[in-house]
Amino acid sequence: MKILILITGIGLGHTLREEAIIQEILKKHPKAEIRIVTYGNAYNFFHNKFTTYKIIGPKFPDYTFEVKIRDLALANISYPLVYYFEARKILNVSKLFKPDLIISDFEPMGILISKIIKKPLIAIFNFNLETLKDYERTNKLSTTLKIQASYVKRYYKLSHKGNILIPTLFGHYKSKTHYKYINPIIRYDPKELKDEKVLMKKLGFAKKPILISTGGSNFGSQIIESILKIAKEFDEEFVIFGYLHSTVKLLKNVRVFSFKNNFLEYLKISKGIVTLGGYNTIAEALVFKKPALIFPVKNHLEQLLNAYPIEMNKLSLVKHLNKISPEIIRDHLKEFIKKIPIIQKNLSKLSIKPTGAKEAVYFIDKFK
């Protein structure tokens, strides 16, 4: 079986869930041929593991804690022309590879290629339109959010002849025609990892740490800088992932890593996690039943929708920031630490199966 996978290179969540799906494919079909088309973080992650073709992807300005359509438009003003030439390049690759199936993880080029070479398509979205409907009932969408919503709806429409897999946070919605709702796609079930005591010793902790993970973007830079400035005020161990640009001197109770492939081991021993509104980290926190302090990026529709049901069900502490300072982050962090026992009690009632990757392979097998 030959599979061509096109992945957005923005952030790390899409990358890590595709790794989980690929692992499941190769467990079941060791001789499957996998080739990847991507850019950015995903290219850096996959290019030494599989045959990976690098494309020029769109730019997603992340230098402030807010999505601004004007900045997006200006950053990508020449992208339609770039996209045309990149699509032609990958079309030639596709014709030579002759895949049996194309998987598109929020990378529109996959939809185009599947139509031209007439091969089956599976499109994977974080974006749940049912959650959008729920959100709109109680929240008015700004112009920026409306534009993002129309883009995603257009993406859905373009994918209508393929199968659309939508990983959810709380299990299945009722699947409709080509929309297939699946459980969260997580690289490892908590039961697959070693016991917490063993992991505490292995990772060198005497007490459970608080993790700070803001994905593969710079959106969370100000939050991390604020935490670094106030960390000394807390009797806690902090572990920061994905941030090495600090000008603040690190303290004894702070560890910083650019990336850890065994991140889920750290998550398993943690007392909680501070993160943005990215789907992947929220899903991992829910599956591992870890309290989270969530800061959705302002005007980032997907992050707002990811955080919305979590906030409604009181499964984490969600804070919407209009301004970022050490003082503001200190207050939210203090509140979060105080509420961890309550959130943990709510999480203990959850029963979420981390079986999304297996379910995705079930649909993939239909195209053997």
Query: Which pLDDT tens digit goes with each residue over 92-115?
Result: 999 999 999 999 999 999 999 999
Q: What angle do CA 6, 8, 14 make, to 5 degrees?
A: 95
Q: What is the mean pLDDT of residues 178-200?
A: 93
Is the CB of residue 59 less than 8 Å from the CB of residue 31?
no
Which of these ranges, 63-72, 126-135, 171-180, 286-295, has the smallest mean pLDDT? 171-180
User: d(Cα 117, Cα 112) in Å, to the nearest integer?
Assistant: 9
Q: What is the CA radius of gyration of the chain?
A: 20
Q: What is the mean pLDDT of residues 166-191?
A: 81
Write down the domain spans for the chain: 2-184+354-367, 190-347
User: d(Cα 350, Cα 294) in Å, to the nearest integer?
Assistant: 18
Give the pLDDT band of residue 231 (cuts 50, 70, 90).
very high
Give pLDDT, residue 25.
97
User: d(Cα 302, Cα 122) in Å, to the nearest integer?
Assistant: 20
Q: What is the mean pLDDT of residues 151-159?
A: 84
Strand-pairing partners, residue 272, are 210
Highest averaged pLDDT of the listed ranges 14-23, 56-65, 157-166: 14-23
User: d(Cα 164, Cα 221) in Å, to the nearest integer?
Assistant: 33
- Which helix (H) or strand (E) segment holds residue 263: the answer is helix 263-269
Which of these ranges, 11-20, 122-131, 171-180, 262-271, has the smallest mean pLDDT? 171-180
Which of these ranges, 10-14, 87-91, 287-291, has the smallest mean pLDDT? 10-14
Give pLDDT, residue 246.
54
CATH topology classification for 190-347: Rossmann fold (3.40.50)
Residue with token string 């503001």: 328
The answer to whether 2-184+354-367 and 190-347 have equal CATH topology is: yes
Task: Report how far apart, in Å, the C-alpha atoms of 301 and of each of 120, 153, 329 are.
Answer: 29, 12, 22
User: d(Cα 280, Cα 104) in Å, to the nearest integer?
Assistant: 17
User: d(Cα 299, Cα 32) in Å, to the nearest integer?
Assistant: 40
User: d(Cα 43, Cα 82) in Å, to the nearest integer?
Assistant: 18
What share of the chain in percent tops pLDDT 90?
79
pTM above 0.85, yes or no: yes
Nearest to 230 by CA among 104, 341, 330: 330
**Check whether domain 2-184+354-367 has CATH 3.40.1190.20, yes or no:** no
Q: What is the mean pLDDT of residues 280-309?
A: 96
Burial class (CB in 10 A: 0-12, 13-18, 19+), 322: exposed
Q: Residue 217 pLDDT more than 80?
A: no
Which of these ranges, 63-72, 82-91, 336-345, has the smallest mean pLDDT? 63-72
pLDDT per residue as tens digits for the range 252-293: 899 998 889 999 999 999 999 999 999 999 999 999 999 999
Give pLDDT, residue 249.
64
Give the pLDDT band of residue 128 (cuts 50, 70, 90).
confident
End-to-end CA distance of the chain: 6
Q: What angle do CA 152, 153, 158 make, to 5 degrees?
A: 95
Give pLDDT, residue 87.
96
Residue with token string 């073709």: 53
